[in-house]
Amino acid sequence: GRPTRLSGNDLANLLQNMGSDNIEEIEIISNPSAKYEAEGDAGIININLKKNVATGFNGSAVASFTQGEYFRNNQSLNLNYGGEKLKASLILSRVDNELYDNFRETRTQNGFSLELASDELRNFDGYTITTGLEYTFNEKHSLSFSGNAILNSNDNDLGSTTAISLLETGGLEEILESQTLLDRESGNYNFNLNYRWKLSKSSKLSADLSFGDFNSVGSTFQPNTFFAADGTTVVDVSNNAFDSDTYIDLWSGKVDYEKEWDGWILSVGSKYASIVTDNRFDFFEVIDNEEVSDPTRSN
């Protein structure tokens, strides 16, 4: 019942580190009601995790290793404490993947034939920390806190060679040697405080206060060198770099009331949310190993 706004590597990291033995059920909400955000109009996936019902301390550790073209591995540690009134959990997980990809393409464009050959090595290193704390005052009142932090690091190295030939004659004109070197780090933090009041057997009231912070900082370097048909004579050099950063702060508070009778459920609630987003894109031309800002291509 607590939305987590994730995409791309953050979402992949969370799902890869989520053990199937920790999942109680997966609910597909194809027609979300008004209690959900408008962004869920295409449907919502609700993953309900198991609650620790065992008393005392218990835990588990899992590790997996895969050797393909490159080495991949992930580890996780799950610790739980269950008491009469207090329950606590802590999950630590890590994933480290190296992925290789190659791409070959031939295309025609503006009277030229372009033959592209590229090889890319992507290194992904991610950490997930999930914690939960619940205190039951009595059978009617309970207070809980949950939080998770997802820390990702990406290091991509793409190198490509493009042979440029005239379609009319088939003769090789130029050879483009290019690279895309990406270094990106991101952090996603979500915290939630929840109070539940069981008014009766058929009605309940709950209040939530949530805070989230997302930041992504990345830099990309793209050197491009054009060679003559001999492959050694430099015709032109165009080296570019850019930084793309994103910072998102969000918090929300909501109160929900639910009443059930004769198979019907009535839900009424109120919510206030504040989201502040800051995106930055800085473009540079790299001349003699010095970055020169280009304000016309920056935002």
- The pLDDT tens digits of the residues spanning 205-216 come to 999 999 999 999
pLDDT, tens only, 231-271:
999 999 999 999 999 999 999 999 999 999 888 989 899 99
DSSP E strand boundaries for 15-85: 23-29, 44-49, 56-67, 71-82
In this prediction, residue 40 carries a pLDDT of 67
| Placement of tokens 């920790």 in the chain | 22
**Per-residue model confidence (pLDDT) at position 12:** 73
Type of residue numbered 25: E
CA angle 154, 280, 127 (to 5 degrees): 25
pLDDT at position 5: 64
Per-residue pLDDT of the chain (299 residues; tens, 9 = 90+): 666 666 666 677 677 767 777 788 888 888 887 777 776 677 888 888 776 666 789 888 989 999 988 888 989 898 999 888 999 999 999 989 998 999 999 999 998 999 999 999 999 899 999 999 999 999 899 999 999 899 999 999 999 999 999 988 888 999 999 999 999 999 999 999 999 999 998 999 999 999 999 999 999 999 999 999 999 999 999 999 999 999 999 999 999 999 998 889 898 999 999 999 999 999 999 998 899 999 999 99
Q: What is the pLDDT of residue 48?
A: 84
pLDDT given for residue 32 in this prediction: 81
pLDDT, position 34: 74
Backbone angles phi, psi at 230, to 5 degrees: -75, -10
Q: Which residues pair with 119 in a beta bridge?
A: 102, 159
Query: Hey, what amino acid is at 259?
Result: K
What pLDDT was estimated at residue 292?
94
* Per-residue confidence (pLDDT) for residue 122, from 0 to 100: 92
Q: How many other C-beta atoms are found inside a 10 Å radius of the C-beta of residue 110?
A: 6
pTM for this predicted structure: 0.79
d(CA 299, CA 293): 11
> Amino acid identity of 157?
D
298 within 8 A of 282, measured Cβ to Cβ: yes
